[in-house]
């Protein structure tokens, strides 16, 4: 005759490795904190491309070196002046852009100077079209996700402004809310307007103060000038990526394909080499920028909030699984017709998510931290491994946090975000119908 509490209470077993007591909980993996028995029983990471493996290894190496430097100094990572690699990267980028400029100039000369001379103008137009198609263009905010402006969410923008002031920058022009378990910043349009991406999957599982830390990290990238300074180098990387796919060899069906493939072979290798070089040169600076952004996160939201925010980054798979499972189950079950049903689905998706993630015990976080350290996991290929970011935050002097987001403030922001969340619910249900 067990009560609910008794059923949920963790049982204990003995570690087969060292005999220590190990908590058993049906929802989580049993593992031993004393000897690491069963700490990482998951499948090996999926096989990834050579480039991704190379980038991750490079990111891991720089991340490790920088973390050791930061830990040794016991201070926040300094804002380093441009080092040799950054200057070199800038030079390589200018070279790439000057090739684009040279091709445009050639096209212009062929059209104007060659006017009336056989097919020269036609050649010029063809060249112009190719270069124009490969030109990196100013981005624009996506249309598939809700975009919020100041009038849509005054409280959210006010919080962003406040955090921005603390980290030494200004707020953003637009906020894009999507379902991702991530966040980010960039600039778009010819006027270079600032945009922040907030993934609801991540936002919804953070405490109000962790959200402040997240905003601090993202706005820290503006404060450090990462978005601006990477404009030239990122533009060059994008151009190279465009060229690389443009120069992809055709499947050989005839003599002509063979000729074209032979012709593009060398340029393609050069483009590939330049891409790797530029990427490698910018990697260290971008890793340093991440540690620096984490320091901003702590200043805005507090060191404690920044640390637990990083912990949440380790449970992305659990969040994604919940959203997928709940939306699929809803479709299969009673459907989502009618206002009441829709609201119930929304609650199950998002409030259910917060409850589920809130019930993850500290031992599971600790297990994931150890797995992250073993596998060198990071949020993506450009961020330093999460466990190193956490260590660097802990090494610096603890920050009390300068921006406070209390429950009532969090509540009014949630109300502002509600229409966007309803749209995202709709998207999730549509995408998970199979
Ligand atoms: Zn053990
Ligand atoms: Zn970042």
Q: Model confidence over 310-360: pLDDT tens digits?
A: 999 999 889 999 998 888 877 665 555 677 777 888 888 898 998 999 899
| Dihedral angle over CA of 399, 402, 407, 411, nearest 10 | -130
Q: Do residues 198 and 316 touch, judged by C-beta distance below 8 A?
A: no
Q: Give the distance (Å) from ligand 2 centre to CA of residue 310.
A: 11
Q: Give the distance (Å) from ligand 2 centre to CA of residue 151.
A: 27
Query: How large is the angle between the packed helices 303-312 and 208-223, nearest 10 degrees?
Result: 100
Residue whose C-alpha is closest to residue 315's, from 179, 180, 213, 202: 202
**pLDDT higher at 128 or 69:** 128
Mean pLDDT on 306-311: 95
Residues 404, 407, 413, 417: is their CA dihedral positive or negative? Answer: positive
Q: Give the distance (Å) from ligand 1 centre to CA of residue 71.
A: 30
Q: Do residues 392 and 69 touch, judged by C-beta distance below 8 A?
A: no
Q: Do residues 179 and 432 touch, judged by C-beta distance below 8 A?
A: no
Q: Give the distance (Å) from ligand 2 centre to CA of residue 40.
A: 27
What residue spans of 114-246 are helical by DSSP H? 120-134, 154-167, 200-203, 208-223, 226-246
Most confident range, picked from 1-10, 79-88, 191-200, 425-434: 191-200
Q: Give the distance (Å) from ligand 2 centre to CA of residue 199.
A: 14
Q: Please tell me the chain's helix, strand, coil percentages from 3-state DSSP, rounded to the nearest 5.
A: 65, 5, 30
**pLDDT tens, position by position, 12-47:** 899 999 999 998 888 899 999 999 999 998 877 777
> Tell me, what's the pLDDT at 96?
92
Q: Give the distance (Å) from ligand 1 centre to CA of residue 33.
A: 7
Mean pLDDT on 245-264: 85
pTM of structure:
0.84
Residues 28, 33, 35, 36: is their CA dihedral positive or negative? Answer: positive
Ligand with the closest atom to the CA of 296 = 2
> Tell me, what's the pLDDT at 232?
82
Q: Give the distance (Å) from ligand 1 centre to CA of residue 12.
A: 13
For the chain, what is the largest distance between any 2 Cα atoms, rounded to a whole number of angstroms?
97
> Tell me, what's the pLDDT at 158?
97
When pLDDT is cut at 50, 70 and 90, the band that residue 251 belongs to is confident
Domain parsing of the chain, residue ranges: 40-434
Q: Give the distance (Å) from ligand 2 centre to CA of residue 286.
A: 9
Ligand with the closest atom to the CA of 13 = 1
How far apart CA 268 and CA 249 sit, in angstroms, is 9
Residue 201 pLDDT > 50: yes
Q: Give the distance (Å) from ligand 1 centre to CA of residue 32.
A: 5
Percent of the chain with pLDDT over 70: 90
Q: Give the distance (Å) from ligand 1 centre to CA of residue 365.
A: 18
Ligand with the closest atom to the CA of 227 = 2
> Tell me, what's the pLDDT at 187?
83
Residue 433 pLDDT > 70: no
Q: Give the distance (Å) from ligand 1 centre to CA of residue 91.
A: 53
Q: Give the distance (Å) from ligand 1 centre to CA of residue 265.
A: 55
How far apart CA 280 and CA 55 sit, in angstroms, is 8
Ligand with the closest atom to the CA of 313 = 2
């Amino acid at each position: 005759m067990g009560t609910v509490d008794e059923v949920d209470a963790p049982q204990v077993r003995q570690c087969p490795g060292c005999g220590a007591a190990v908590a058993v909980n049906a929802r989580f993996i049993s593992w031993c904190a004393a000897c690491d028995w069963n700490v990482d029983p998951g499948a090996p990471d999926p096989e990834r491309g050579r480039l991704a493996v190379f980038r991750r290894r490079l990111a891991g190496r720089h991340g490790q070196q920088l973390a050791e430097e930061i830990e040794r100094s016991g201070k926040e990572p300094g804002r380093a002046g441009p080092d040799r690699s950054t200057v070199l990267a800038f030079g390589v980028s200018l070279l790439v852009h000057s090739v684009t400029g040279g091709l445009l100039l050639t096209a212009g000369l062929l059209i104007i100077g060659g006017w009336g001379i056989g097919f020269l103008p036609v050649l010029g137009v063809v060249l112009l079209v190719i270069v124009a198609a490969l030109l990196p263009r100013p981005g624009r905010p996506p249309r598939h996700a809700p975009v919020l402006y100041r009038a849509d969410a005054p409280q959210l923008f006010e919080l962003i402004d406040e955090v921005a002031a603390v980290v030494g920058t200004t707020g953003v022009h637009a906020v894009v809310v999507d379902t991702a378990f991530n966040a980010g910043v960039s600039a778009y349009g010819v006027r270079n307007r600032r945009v922040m991406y907030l993934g609801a999957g991540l936002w919804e599982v953070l405490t109000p103060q962790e959200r402040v830390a997240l905003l601090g990290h993202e706005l820290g990238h503006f404060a450090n000038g990462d978005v601006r300074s990477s404009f030239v180098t990122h533009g060059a990387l994008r151009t190279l990526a465009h060229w690389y796919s443009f120069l992809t060899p055709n499947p050989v069906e005839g003599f002509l394909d063979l000729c074209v493939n032979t012709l593009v072979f060398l340029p393609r290798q050069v483009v590939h080499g330049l891409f790797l070089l530029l990427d490698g040169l910018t990697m260290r600076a971008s890793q340093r920028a991440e540690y620096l952004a984490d320091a901003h996160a702590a200043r805005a939201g507090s060191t404690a909030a920044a640390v637990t925010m990083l912990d949440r980054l380790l449970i992305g798979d659990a969040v994604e699984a919940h959203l997928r499972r709940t939306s699929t189950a809803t479709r299969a079950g009673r459907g989502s017709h009618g206002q009441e049903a829709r609201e119930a689905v929304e609650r199950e998706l998002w409030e259910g998510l917060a409850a589920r993630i809130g019930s993850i015990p500290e031992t599971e976080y600790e297990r994931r931290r150890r797995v992250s350290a073993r596998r060198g996991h990071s949020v993506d290929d450009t961020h330093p491994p999460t466990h190193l970011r956490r260590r660097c935050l802990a090494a610096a002097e603890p920050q009390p946090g300068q921006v406070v987001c209390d429950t009532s403030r969090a509540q009014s922001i949630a109300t502002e975000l509600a229409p966007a969340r309803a749209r995202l619910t709709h998207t999730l249900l549509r995408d998970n119908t199979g």
